[in-house]
Structure 1
Amino acid sequence: MRRANHDKVAAPTIVACANCGAMTVPHRVCEACGHYGGRQVKDKGQAESES
Structure 2
Amino acid sequence: MIDFPLVVGSFLVAIIVGLTGMGGGALMTPMMMLFFNVPLWPPSRATWSPPRS
Which structure has the larger Rg over C-alpha atoms? Answer: 1
Higher strand share: 1
> Structure 1 length normalisation: TM-score?
0.21
What is the TM-score of this pair, normalised by structure 2?
0.21
